[in-house]
A and B are shown apart, each in its own frame.
Chain A
Amino acid sequence: MDVTASLQQQTIGFLDWVEHDRPNFWKQYMLRSFDVIAQARADLEKCKMRTVGDHRPTCYEEKLALEAAKKRLETAQEKVEACARWCSLVRHEIDEFDGRRGGLQRYIEADFAKTIATLERMILAIEAYAEIESAAEEPVPPPVTNP
């Protein structure tokens, strides 16, 4: 595969990753984050209910887990927004790139093919000329004389 075709294939693959793979991944991650928050809240409530005599537990770990779950959701929401933002920007960058890639590809496929043809014609002409020259330089056999 030539370089321009390989570049094109890679940009198509990357665009698919940005437009489909990443949004799907981060949306699923966001949905799971809601579950994680719900679980963390339930764990915290359960902890608060546990009283031993007059002693009330601090539930420090449960509070930390809830904070982490909220942070996870916040990250997921930011990433979902980032996916949407990057989709249009990456598409625009690839369009710009394709203009330049297409310029070289068209030149190679059309103009450069003519270049090769020109060279081939020149080579044939030079070879033909060289043949004429060498034929001219060949020694002429002496005339046959009858005794």
Chain B
Amino acid sequence: MRVADLSVDSTKLYKAHVELIQAWELTKEHWKDDNAQNFEDNHLAPLDPLVKMLLDATNRLNEVFARVERELASPGQD
């Protein structure tokens, strides 16, 4: 069993972000004025790079954790 497995949370975050994008795409079919565009530009768009950066960082850290776990495992556990 892993000491820490970040992939579960990483997957949750990815799915939540995809759900948000899909919900917004549906909303845009009915809300098409300047307010909708402002809302997308000012409130939703800034979220995108933050989520992507965190997903990349999580995957990278998870790889480091896996390597450290393999290297420092007790004898017979590796």
Interface residues of A (CB under 8 A from B): 3-4, 6-7, 10-11, 13-14, 17-18, 22, 25-26, 29, 75, 79, 82-83, 86, 89-90, 93-94, 96-97, 100-101, 103-104, 107, 111-112, 114-115, 118-119, 122
Tell me the number of A-to-B contacts counted with CB atoms below 8 Å. 81
29 A-B interface contacts by CB (under 8 A)? A3-B12, A3-B13, A4-B54, A6-B9, A10-B9, A11-B4, A13-B3, A13-B4, A14-B4, A17-B3, A18-B68, A18-B72, A79-B72, A82-B71, A90-B64, A90-B65, A93-B61, A93-B64, A97-B57, A97-B61, A103-B53, A103-B54, A111-B43, A115-B39, A115-B43, A115-B44, A118-B39, A118-B43, A119-B39
Residue of A nearest to B61 (CB): A97
Q: Which of B59-76 contact A (CB under 8 A)?
A: 60-61, 64-65, 68, 71-72, 74-75
B21 within 8 A of A: no
Determine if A7 and B46 form an interchain contact, defined as CB atoms under 8 angstroms apart.
Answer: no
Contact-size category for B? 20 to 34
Roughly how many angstroms separate A26 CA and B24 CA in the complex, as a whole number? 52
Roughly how many angstroms separate A51 CA and B73 CA in the complex, as a whole number? 43
Given A3-B12, A90-B64 in contact, is the A97-B58 Cβ separation under 8 Å? yes
Determine if B72 and A7 form an interchain contact, defined as CB atoms under 8 angstroms apart.
Answer: no
Helix, strand, loop or mixed for chain A's interface? Answer: helix
Name the one of B12, B35, B57 contacting A122, with C-beta atoms under 8 angstroms: B35
Roughly how many angstroms separate A86 CA and B67 CA in the complex, as a whole number? 10
Determine if A100 and B53 form an interchain contact, defined as CB atoms under 8 angstroms apart.
Answer: yes
